[in-house]
Structure 1
Amino acid sequence: MNTPVAAQTSFSNLQAGSLTGKVVVVFGGTSGIGLAAAVQAKAAGAKVIVIGNDRTRAQQAAQAHGFEWRTADVTQSDAVHEALKEIPKVDHLVLLAGTFVAAKVLDGDVDYMRRAFEERVWASVHAIRALNGRMSSDGSITFISGVLADRPNAQGTAVLAAASAAMEALARGLALELAPIRVNTLSPGHVETPLLHKVLGDARDTVLPAMRASTPLKRLGTAEEAGAATVFLMANGWMNGTTLHIDGGVSLI
């Protein structure tokens, strides 16, 4: 009867202990899921460095939560190298940066659509190359994909869906190429974040209730829930080369 409680306590202790004193770098750590993950990693004893593309927001997040901070445009290799160059060692690298790139293939601007891959695949390559030799061998890298990787739609998200699916494939390949460093992907469903509100704009008061109603749990996920899943991928040393779906069951319908 006590086994589930004991197992839960054991997991909590493992999760907290495994991050104590570790250096965690979170790209996209100044808002939304990235900020939530950074806050929870800090609470678990990690030294956290957040990197965002907006200097003011990065500084404010760092001051509010006790992080170190940097700024970088993740699509620029030189900027990523500059942001990481003075960090002597990184235990856990989290790459959650990226905008919502939506345009239909037949009439969308190609340079704009290309950002879906630049902000995800190539930004990850830039960061991993920049940290070559400075990642802990027992550390981890966490990417982000999203429900579009499995459930694309006809609303101009084909390229974004492809970039999301590419992150999952990249993680699986790198889990072998970079071993014993672990590489995983977080795949969130509809999570209520500042980015979602920005994307929906004036339509959010209409669209958000419909999105909630369309999910099995009749609500959206929270940044804190997705952040906790990110911390789990960092902390659990047996998670490797996998995609963790945290979507409230959206991928089932």
Structure 2
Amino acid sequence: MSQLSQTPQQTLSSLQGTTTVVIGGTSGIGLSAAVQAKAAGSRVIVVGSNADRARQAAATHGLDGWRAADVTKPAELYSALEDIPQVDHLVLLAGTFVAGKTLEADLGYLARAFDERIWASIHALRALGNRLSSTGSVTFISGSLADRPNAYGTAVLAAASAAMEALARGLALELAPVRVNTLSPGPIDTPILAKALGDAKDGFVASVEASLPLHRLGTAEQAGAAVVFLMSNGFMNGATLNVDGGARLV
């Protein structure tokens, strides 16, 4: 059979029968990715910082398991992952919106940007070791700040986001044939946005909608679908997938 005669389903790697772990999978993009991966046939386990929310997310959406762990505490992360026999797809979407002026903010707080992303990812990979399938994938998250930092106290977060993309490219070589990619979402309407902006959210949304070519924010479902694409397309490797509504263009 020639490549041209293959159906789209044949060119994608099936998620049927696989096991997916989504760290940061109890709300927003992570939860949407978990639900969509489940619908695609994967056995899905979500890891969140709050046990009650993780339990509820798994029960509400018919997921296959849940764990609770603070990703900045390696011991909790190792404990959460130690009893999973094999993982085919590891998705790491945990991370809060760390914003503070570099010369003013508490350094311990700013360090969370890297602790929640770079070091949490490294500890998760070490915790799994050879239980991460060689035919599987790892998906990180960065964000549009990696390309378009601003002057509003996000320099360290922008650096951490860009570092995730660099880490993915390096690991695509180091962990080969495991595939490693990064999702870079733009302005997405998620709970973390509301939590970060509080009363300023409406004004921010109006400003973004006015400037974006699409004049609207993205949804968690759209970003989650991009995660599943990175998991299921067997030729995506070392890539950063921008789901930003054209935010990099304006």
Taking structure 2 as the reference length, the TM-score comes to: 0.96
Q: Among all aligned residue pairs of Structure 1 and Structure 2, give the percentage whose two residues are the same amino acid.
A: 65
How far, CA to CA, are the matches of 1:12 and 1:232 in structure 2? Answer: 12
Q: Give CA deviations for 1:185-243 in whole Å, capped at 9, x if unaligned.
A: 00000000011011110111222111111111000000000000000000000000010
Residue in structure 2 matched with residue 95 of structure 1 by the alignment: 92
Among 24, 27, 37, the alignment partner of 2:23 is 27
Aligned letter for 1:98? G
**Is 1:49 the equivalent of 2:69?**
no
Secondary structure of the residue aligned to 2:130 is coil
Of stretches 197-206 and 150-159 in structure 1, the one that deviates more from structure 2 is: 197-206
- 1:163 corresponding residue in structure 2: 160
Could you tell me which runs of 5 or more consecutive residues in structure 2 were left unpaired when the two chains were aligned.
Answer: none
Aligned to 1:115: 112
Cα 1:204–1:23, aligned 2, differ >3 Å: closer, same or farther?
A: same
Three-state SS of the structure 2 residue aligned to 1:131 is helix
Partner of 2:144: 147
**Contact kept? 1:14, 1:235, Cα under 8 Å:** no
Stretches of structure 1 lacking an aligned partner (at least 5 in a row): none
AA paired with 2:215? K
Aligned residue pairs, count: 246
* Of 223-232 and 17-26, the range deviating more from structure 2: 17-26
Q: In structure 1, give the amino acid aligned to 2:53.
A: R
Query: Is 2:200 the partner of 1:182?
Result: no
Q: Residue 170 of structure 1: CA displacement?
A: 0.2
Any idea what the Cα deviations from partners look like across 1:101-142, whole Å, max 9, x if unmatched?
000001111000000000000000000000001011110000
**TM-score, with length taken from structure 1:** 0.95
SS in 1 for 2:151: coil
Deviation string for 1:26-61 (max 9, x for gaps)? 001000000000000000000000000011110110
Change beyond 3 A, Cα 1:98–1:137: same
Tell me which of 133, 137, 152 is aligned to 1:136.
133
Q: Distance in 1 between matches of 2:93 and 2:153?
A: 21
Q: Distance in 2 between matches of 1:179 and 1:13?
A: 23
For residue 70 of structure 1, report the CA deviation from its aligned partner.
Answer: 0.2
Q: Which amino acid aligns with 1:138?
A: T
Structure 1 residue 11: Cα displacement? 2.6
CA distance in 2: counterparts of 1:205 and 1:117, whole angstroms: 28
